[in-house]
Amino acid sequence: MSTATEAAVIDAHVHEDHHDEHHEQSFITKYIFSTDHKTIAKQFLITGIFWAFIGAAMSVIFRLQLGFPDADLGWLKPILGKWIQVDGSLDPNFYLALVTMHGTIMVFFVLTAGLSGTFSNFLIPLQIGARDMASGFMNMLSYWFFFVSGVIMFISLFIETGPASGGWVVYPPLSALPQAMPGSGLGMTLWLVAMVFFIASSLLGGINYITTVINLRTKGMTFSRLPLTIWAFFLTAVIGLLSFPVLFAAALLLVFDRSFGTSFYLSEIYIGGEALSNVGGSPILYQHLFWFLGHPEVYIVLLPALGITSEIIATNSRKPIFGYKAMIISMMGITFLSFIVWAHHMFVSGLNPFLGSIFMFLTLIIAVPSAVKVFNYLTTLWRGNIIFTPAMMFSIGLVSVFISGGITGIFLGNSAIDIQLHDTYFVVAHFHLVMGAASAFGLLAGVYHWFPKMFGRMMDSRLGYIHFWLTFIGIYSVFFPMHYIGIAGFPRRYYSFTNFDAFSGFTDLNMFISAAAIFTFVGQLIFLFNFFYSMYRGRKAPANPWKSNTLEWTTPINPGHGNWVGEIPQVYRWPYDYSKPGAEDDFIPQTVPYSETMESNLPHENDMIALEKEEAAEEVVVDAKSAH
């Protein structure tokens, strides 16, 4: 780095130091239209929790239908109104609407916005040593676009024809033709509008995350010293930036087909006693475009969870994460491969079988970096000194569900085996464990771990343990039995199974799953209570409650605008110096120079001391210059 640019950087820092003596803000600029990354993160988190409860409640309602098909749901009439039929059963159209909205809400609003939005925003500046995001204004827009998207989606729940109901993938022609089902009318239009806002929000956020990570790292924070959380958020943002525009294209063409008479996806349709004039379109085109986002989306929700877990497992095992570089390479591998596996969702869609073979090959390759990550987690735990904080419990739980859900991907990625399993409950079990539960566990782990930094107070750990065990047992009770039902061939999105002899069994297991779903849902209320109770009445947090190495714990307990009082600390080492032989404590924060830890330095680290000194000397010169 030349002296001139360095001077500029330092000058900028000096300038930014004025941030911590900022004027009093009004309630609106401080909590509502805030440009502070920490406030925006909390906004994303609380909105995400709100949507998580709505999405989970929907799943409870349709599980009631599946587990207890004869039950009288009349008591839901005050909420669902006409969607409860005269005999007290759920309307089949509304069942599909619930399934669709559950998927949309959970994938996009909870696990994309709630997870990336919360933790990328919160942790990127704090862990790389930046005052805020590259653009606070864009960051604020990102949240408010998301908010608008949520409002539109929420309104769509209450319209007369019901919300979108063609499954969260909204395949045309079903989603394109209002005469095909009531949910394809206004509900679908609102879905598309909401998604457009959501995509805009994701892109604004993503650009910001990438820019911030590349440009605003503090002195000494090289890419090879970034915590794995930041690597994960960074790569997630890259995936989102490249794939969300394609969903936008897919949605736009669908809008054209729906409203302007084009035939991108429609061809040779006879519906409602009438032959439509559309010819030449291809329903498969939509599937390609959708899954070009849809598959990377899986990693958009999963990678942040894996990053969070890496950080928490290392901290609470009191050990460096095993294979830091291998972890980064795996994540890069996953990032790259996530773009070239999408057609494995379409093996039996009429796709050219040769393409199917190619995508089978690429899909099974992606299992390798995922396996490497699991082995690295296990080795990190091996001979550690494991402290079971609630965050650590959820991280261990994540690794377990990630394994259990991940290996079933090897069945589904094999096109020959997928013929039978495609669109059965086996798929439901697979993705709920590997992407739903794993990401949700990552989200919860992150909340427990960084709650002290967010609110300056601790969450109650006993309630955390109870919450973990209820959730962990609950999640496995809900999704593991679905494998059996799936192997038996039960198709997804069925309102009832009584029409078929082949699917008439397993009423007991379906009942069990539904009961477990209710149990798991109720268990989340403990979290909700703990979260809001601790926000106001939790014990005051110490500065570094988990004895962690990363930069966010060097800020004040309640960091203000600009994060650090005075200068931003410099970084001298990687974030995983836990239990280093010779060191007094079992952790050495990133801000401790090698010159102060002679007793624990590895040979090559001693060489760094000279470098540190050189840099310090340079800085003094620059300071003297800039004083003029």
Which positions from 372 through 391 interact with another protein, judged by CB under 8 A?
A: 372, 374-379, 381-389
Chosen residue from 230, 360, 428, 592 binding another protein by CB under 8 A: 360
CB of 541 to another protein, least distance (A): 11
CB of 270 to another protein, least distance (A): 5
Chosen residue from 24, 87, 501, 584 binding another protein by CB under 8 A: 501
Report the C-alpha gap between 195 and 146 in whole angstroms.
9
Closer to another protein at the Cβ: 130 or 164? 164
Closer to another protein at the Cβ: 237 or 434? 434
Amino acid at 385: N
The footprint of another protein on residues 462-491 (CB under 8 A) is 462-463, 465, 469, 472-473, 476, 480-481, 484-485, 487-489, 491
DSSP 578: B
Closer to another protein at the Cβ: 329 or 616? 329
Closer to another protein at the Cβ: 146 or 587? 587
CB of 56 to another protein, least distance (A): 18
- The distance in angstroms from the start CA to the end CA of the chain is 22
Q: Write out the two tokens for 430.
A: 């697979």
Q: Write out the two tokens for 39.
A: 């406030």
DSSP 239: H
Report the C-alpha gap between 378 and 383 in whole angstroms.
10
Closer to another protein at the Cβ: 384 or 569? 384
Chosen residue from 11, 21, 567, 586 binding another protein by CB under 8 A: 586
Closer to another protein at the Cβ: 38 or 573? 573
Closer to another protein at the Cβ: 14 or 279? 279
Q: How many CA atoms lie within 13 A of 17 on its CB side?
A: 11
CB of 579 to another protein, least distance (A): 4
Answer for the pair 241, 323: CB distance below 8 angstroms, yes or no.
no
Chosen residue from 76, 80, 167, 519 binding another protein by CB under 8 A: 167
Q: For the beta carbon of residue 352, count every other beta carbon within 10 angstroms.
A: 10
Report the C-alpha gap between 100 and 163 in whole angstroms.
8
The footprint of another protein on residues 302-331 (CB under 8 A) is 317-326
Answer for the pair 550, 311: CB distance below 8 angstroms, yes or no.
yes
Q: Using the rule CB under 8 A, give the single segment among 139-147, 202-210, 294-302, 358-366 that binds another protein.
A: 358-366
Closer to another protein at the Cβ: 240 or 464? 464
Answer for the pair 621, 601: CB distance below 8 angstroms, yes or no.
no
CA-closest candidate to residue 56, choices 527, 609, 568, 627? 527
CA-closest candidate to residue 94, choices 192, 195, 194, 187? 187
CB of 491 to another protein, least distance (A): 4
Closer to another protein at the Cβ: 138 or 367? 367
Give yes or no for residue 519 binding another protein (CB under 8 A).
no
Chosen residue from 22, 30, 82, 539 binding another protein by CB under 8 A: 539
The footprint of another protein on residues 276-305 (CB under 8 A) is 279-284
Give yes or no for residue 497 binding another protein (CB under 8 A).
yes
Helix (H) or strand (E) holding 356: helix 353-365
DSSP 579: S
Q: Write out the two tokens for 255.
A: 């809008």
The footprint of another protein on residues 395-424 (CB under 8 A) is 396, 399-400, 403-404, 407-408, 410-411, 414-417, 419-420, 422-424
The footprint of another protein on residues 588-627 (CB under 8 A) is none
Label the pairing between strands 274-275 and 270-271.
antiparallel
**Alpha helices of 488-602 — where are they, by DSSP H?**
507-537
- 613-625 burial, b at 16+ Cβ within 10 Å, e below that, comes to eebeeeeeebeee
What sign does the dihedral 212-209-337-288 (CA atoms) show? negative
Q: Using the rule CB under 8 A, give the single segment among 9-17, 109-117, 346-354, 559-567 that binds another protein.
A: 346-354
State yes or no: cis peptide before 173, omega within 30 of 0. yes
CB of 184 to another protein, least distance (A): 9
CA distances from 161 to 97, 182, 391 (A): 10, 5, 42
Size of the site for another protein (CB under 8 A): 121
Chosen residue from 222, 259, 499, 606 binding another protein by CB under 8 A: 499
Give every CB contact of residue 161 below 8 A, 6+ residues apart in sequence.
182, 183, 185, 186, 187
Report the C-alpha gap between 247 and 250 in whole angstroms.
5
Report the C-alpha gap between 218 and 268 in whole angstroms.
60
CA distances from 386 to 289, 504, 590 (A): 44, 47, 21
Chosen residue from 155, 157, 241, 364 binding another protein by CB under 8 A: 364
Closer to another protein at the Cβ: 211 or 461? 461
CB of 382 to another protein, least distance (A): 6
Closer to another protein at the Cβ: 146 or 476? 476
The footprint of another protein on residues 20-79 (CB under 8 A) is 75
The footprint of another protein on residues 135-164 (CB under 8 A) is none
DSSP 440: H
Q: Using the rule CB under 8 A, give the single segment among 128-136, 207-215, 244-252, 350-358 that binds another protein.
A: 350-358
Closer to another protein at the Cβ: 307 or 390? 390
Q: For the beta carbon of residue 512, count every other beta carbon within 10 angstroms.
A: 15
Closer to another protein at the Cβ: 196 or 269? 269
Give yes or no for residue 447 binding another protein (CB under 8 A).
no
The footprint of another protein on residues 553-582 (CB under 8 A) is 576, 578-581
Report the C-alpha gap between 607 and 599 in whole angstroms.
14
CB of 350 to another protein, least distance (A): 4
- Over the window 244 to 273, marking each residue x when it contacts another protein by CB under 8 A and - when it does not, the resulting string is ----------------------xxxxxx-x
Report the C-alpha gap between 477 and 615 in whole angstroms.
57
The footprint of another protein on residues 206-235 (CB under 8 A) is none
- 182-220 burial, b at 16+ Cβ within 10 Å, e below that, comes to bbbbbbbbbbbbbbbbbbbbbbbbbbbbbebbeebbbbb
Chosen residue from 96, 101, 226, 246 binding another protein by CB under 8 A: 96
Closer to another protein at the Cβ: 376 or 549? 376
CB of 487 to another protein, least distance (A): 5
User: Vertex 594, ends 593 and 596: CA angle to 5°?
Assistant: 75
CB of 378 to another protein, least distance (A): 5
